[in-house]
Structure 1
Amino acid sequence: MSDASPALAIRPFHDERTGTVTYVLSDPAARQAAIVDPVLDFDLKSGRTSTLQADRVLAHLAEAGLQVQWILETHAHADHLSAARYLQERVGGRIAIGEHIREVQAVFRQLFNLERSFLPDGRQFDHLFADGDTFRIGGLEAQALLVPGHTPACLAYRIGDAVFVGDTLFMPDVGTARADFPGGDAATLYRSIRRLLDLPPATRLFVCHDYPPEGRAPAWETTVAEQRARNIHVHDGVTEAEFVALRTGRDARLDVPALILPSIQVNIRAGHLPPAEDNGVSYLKIPLNTLGRQ
């Protein structure tokens, strides 16, 4: 990464309901920006969507006079619906994700028995990143890093000394992402984490979610050094075999995320709702007896 890059401005938006942190990244001098992991509000009981979180982002963009170049997804999330398409319709930008989203789409196309017109080839997104691809946000150079394990398509985005790690790592006192989703793998996750923790110790890591233990306020910024010293699952000295045993054991006891079924159906479509049926209404499917423990 170039040391001559302009300063990166980072504006986080924390959503208390899902624990998600959306980021607006910008080059203030060029007034160019990217949005990372935007949230579309969803009420599971009523099936209604709303745009409270996304509208907070829009207000910031307008106030700062920022033009959006990219809307970046770290992966197809299972705990919130993406507001990527809603934001794109209002401020532009290219919606991007990792190229391995095709694998995720193929799995869930089958699980949900999606319409024949849904093709698992990534065309729903404007751009698919390969590992190591570089791109720009104004004068800032950014790089996509493949960090699979939680899902096959997980990416981290590196800009200078800041890395936006998605769900690969959480805050040190929370640990790491689960690896039991379709295509997930604990050993692969360990290697992805070590890739991140091999970066310089002062590298800033920004997590996508925080589920703080009792008594701690939500937080989302840490460092490589802090993670290596204090991460409860993968601090220095934890071997791959030890991590796999720990992660596998924990995952076997975890409940299915509350929003996984609605969110995946939207997120593999880059934030589009499923096509409306002949009555003008979009529907989300609930496959019976397929996910979770028996």
Structure 2
Amino acid sequence: MNDSAIQFARTLVEAARAAAGKPVIRTFFDEPTFTATHVVHDPATRRAAIIDSVQDFDQAAGRTSHGSADALVAYVREQDLTIDWLLETHAHADHLSDAPYLKQQLGGALVIGREIVTVQNVFADVFNEPASFKRDGSQFDRLMGDGEVFALGNLGAIALHVPGHTPACLAYVIGDAVFVGDTLFMPDYGSARADFPGGDARTLYRSVRRLMQMPDETRVFLCHDYKAAGRDTFVWETTIGAERADNVHVHDGISEDEFVAMREARDKTLGMPRLILPSIQVNIRAGHLPEPDDNGVSYLKLPLNLL
């Protein structure tokens, strides 16, 4: 990983705070999948990004719909925003992305980390995808790597590669905020699991500690919240300082070996996410459903006795 990327990210945060150039962030929480989708915009130019969208999916009926995405569309139009970016932090295992529908409605370039090709190669074998399924990430508009700089209106932004939960995880720093995907949860809930194919607890620890080099005041926006024991409300925003001080899994003072032992033991007790099989099939396709069969219907596969 590129240490200069963190230095640049720190500079972005500090410059945004000094110039009061903070992005405006509106979060939409999907309780069925416990997912926080963030609409981020530059108040000066009203250029915007949508991070980690949700496609509604009734698994029992096998039906998809766009109610969650339509709420984003209504907000974007009400606020007169222009969508430049549809950012995915990784190929999610707990919800289907609705980025293609949002692109159709609002525009924007669909982005994910370069290592999505690793995820595609693993799961294309799991689902025995046909030869027509491309394993090169070309379903997305842009693949970003560590330290790749972009802009949101007048706000500087940078992608940070934070693998461990999956090989392709990216965090996006925009102004004074960082969007960490599943790398971290709220301080009272801890960290993401690291037992999916290509995941690794030791790598996750190093990614988290890298993020914690950001200024303490950096706003941190999460992809999920599950309400830790004793907390009655969903929360998706914290700070780097709070994570460093209080994260129950990986606060300052927790060694790499201690974290790995905890994370690996905890992961052994966790079941498969409810929507992992449909989600992965859709999300490695950038949110598109599989190509329809000759009857015009798309089908999702259920591999038996494999995982």
TM-score class normalised by the smaller sequence: over 0.9
Q: Tell whether 2:51 aligns with 1:36.
A: yes
TM-score (norm 2): 0.93
Deviation at 1:139, TM superposition (A): 1.1
Match of 1:271 in 2: 287
Match of 1:243 in 2: 259
Deviation at 1:285, TM superposition (A): 0.3
**Structure 2 residue matching 1:151: 3-state secondary structure:** coil
Q: Aligned partners of 2:218 and 2:152: how far apart in 1?
A: 19
Deviation per residue, 1:15-43 (Å, 9 max, x gap): 11111000001012212110000000101
**Kept after mapping to 2: 8 A contact 1:5/1:140:** no
**Kept after mapping to 2: 8 A contact 1:169/1:175:** yes
**Kept after mapping to 2: 8 A contact 1:5/1:141:** no
Match of 1:101 in 2: 116
Match of 2:6 in 1: none
Q: Aligned partners of 2:175 and 2:150: how far apart in 1?
A: 13
Q: Which runs of 5+ in 2 are unaligned?
A: 1-10
Residue 216 of structure 1, aligned match among 228, 232, 247: 232
Query: Number of aligned pairs?
Result: 291
Q: Aligned partners of 1:161 and 1:114: how far apart in 2?
A: 41
Match of 2:81 in 1: 66
Deviation at 1:151, TM superposition (A): 0.1
Deviation at 1:132, TM superposition (A): 0.3
Match of 2:70 in 1: 55
Q: Tell whether 2:199 aligns with 1:191.
A: no
Deviation at 1:7, TM superposition (A): 3.1
Match of 2:195 in 1: 180
Match of 2:165 in 1: 150
TM-score (norm 1): 0.97
List aligned pairs for 1:96-175, cutoff 5 A: 96-175=111-190
**Structure 2 residue matching 1:156: 3-state secondary structure:** strand
Deviation at 1:160, TM superposition (A): 2.3
Tell me the amino acid that sits aligned with residue 173 of structure 2.
Answer: R
Match of 1:281 in 2: 297
Deviation at 1:216, TM superposition (A): 2.3
Deviation at 1:138, TM superposition (A): 1.1
Q: Aligned partners of 2:146 and 2:251: how far apart in 1?
A: 25
| RMSD of aligned Cα (Å) | 1.0
Deviation at 1:200, TM superposition (A): 1.1
Deviation per residue, 1:85-136 (Å, 9 max, x gap): 0100111100000000000000000000012111110000000001000111
Closer/same/farther in 2, CA of residues 5 and 112 from structure 1, 3 Å limit: farther
Closer/same/farther in 2, CA of residues 5 and 117 from structure 1, 3 Å limit: farther
Q: Aligned partners of 2:44 and 2:245: how far apart in 1?
A: 36
Deviation per residue, 1:48-89 (Å, 9 max, x gap): 111111011000001000111010000000000000001001
Match of 1:231 in 2: 247
Residue 32 of structure 2, aligned match among 10, 14, 17: 17
Deviation at 1:244, TM superposition (A): 0.4
Q: Aligned partners of 2:44 and 2:252: how far apart in 1?
A: 39
**Kept after mapping to 1: 8 A contact 2:109/2:142:** yes
Q: Aligned partners of 1:285 and 1:70: how far apart in 2?
A: 30
**Kept after mapping to 1: 8 A contact 2:37/2:53:** yes
Q: Aligned partners of 2:44 and 2:171: how far apart in 1?
A: 24
Q: Aligned partners of 1:15 and 1:204: how far apart in 2?
A: 21
Deviation at 1:5, TM superposition (A): 7.9
Deviation at 1:8, TM superposition (A): 0.8
**Kept after mapping to 2: 8 A contact 1:104/1:183:** yes
Deviation per residue, 1:243-276 (Å, 9 max, x gap): 0000000000100000000000000111110000
**Structure 2 residue matching 1:226: 3-state secondary structure:** helix
Q: Aligned partners of 1:92 and 1:182: how far apart in 2?
A: 32
Deviates more, 1:68-77 or 1:224-233: 224-233
Match of 2:5 in 1: none
